Every structure is written in structure tokens, then in C-alpha cells.
A = this chain, B = another copy of it.
Amino acid sequence: MSVTDELLANAERYAASFDKGELPLPPAKGVAVVACMDARLNVYGVLGLSEGDAHVIRNAGGVVTADERRSLVISQRLLGTSEIILIHHTDCGMLTFTDDGFKESIHDELGIKPDWSAEAFADLEEDVLQSIARIKADPFIPRKDSIRGFVYEVETGRLREVKA
């Protein structure tokens, strides 16, 4: 049995006790979260979210690239969110390599070099601020009054705010 099959058995159990079929499309709390994909960062658990509460956008690093800005534009313009929470975390994989080294290793193996940035970073706090700056610079995201960035500590379970 693959891991996917094992998780599908969990999904059947979830459906069997499901009682949230009437929730509306727009997030009840008007918040969009942009977080790292890291397995140890349980966004619902940490922020105490329930089904229907918030948009959750995640990728490698929790960095803001064009696709996160696309998601935020849709979240705010079509579904009414107005606050943004960014979450990076300690012991992040993005701190363990450089773009140049990663692309060179792929080039060595495949003979093709990625024509994109892997978005590696050397400083967590600095990258949180960089992600906030990218949102602020986007002309299509309308609501920028509440954009706050955090580092989640995988060792302690704590969320620490990053201020410029």
C-alpha cells in the first residue's frame, strides 16, 4: 500500500464524521496566510484555524513570488480578505543551499540548468521582510494595511514577529 492510499483511508474517516457542508466560499476571518510548505509547520494548528476561516498559501520557503501575488490578488479582490500573515520558520531547508549551487548540481546531473530562481535565502528575518516588501510593491494587491511577518520556531512551537 502506498502512502497515498494510507492517506486516502484517513480521508474516508474525515468524510464519515463531516458536518461542515454549509460553509461559504469567502474566508470567515478575512485573512490570507502565506507560509512555508515545511511538514512541521501545521498552519491550522498554530493559528487555531478551523474549516472556513482563512486562505492558506504555501510553498518552499514561504517566499513571495509571482504565484503568491496572484493568489493574494484573487484572495483580496474576489474573496474579500484584508489581512496578510507571513510565516517562515527555523531550520528551513531554504537555508541549507544556494541558488547557484542547486542549479549547478541539477545542470551536472541532467545537462539542463533551471531558468528560474530556487529562492534560497541565507537570513530568515531578512527574507520575511523581503516577502513583505514584494507584496507592498505589487500594484494589483489592494489592501496592504495589515501585513505582518513571523518566524515559527520548530523547536518550541512559538511564533516570533519580525519587525523592520
Which A residues form the contact surface with B (CB < 8 A)? 2-4, 6-8, 10-11, 13-15, 18, 20-21, 23, 25-32, 37-60, 65-68, 70-71, 73-75, 77-79, 83, 85, 91, 93-94, 96-97, 102, 106, 110, 112, 114, 116-119, 139-140, 146, 148, 154-159
Contact = CB atoms under 8 A, between A and B. Distances in A.
A78 B59 contact: no
A14 to B, nearest CB: 5
> This chain: how many copies in the complex?
2
B71 A7 contact: no
A98 to B, nearest CB: 12
A158 to B, nearest CB: 4
Contacts of A53: 39
B55 A56 contact: no
Given A44-B44, A106-B77, A21 B139 contact: no
Nearest to A29: B3
B68 A25 contact: no
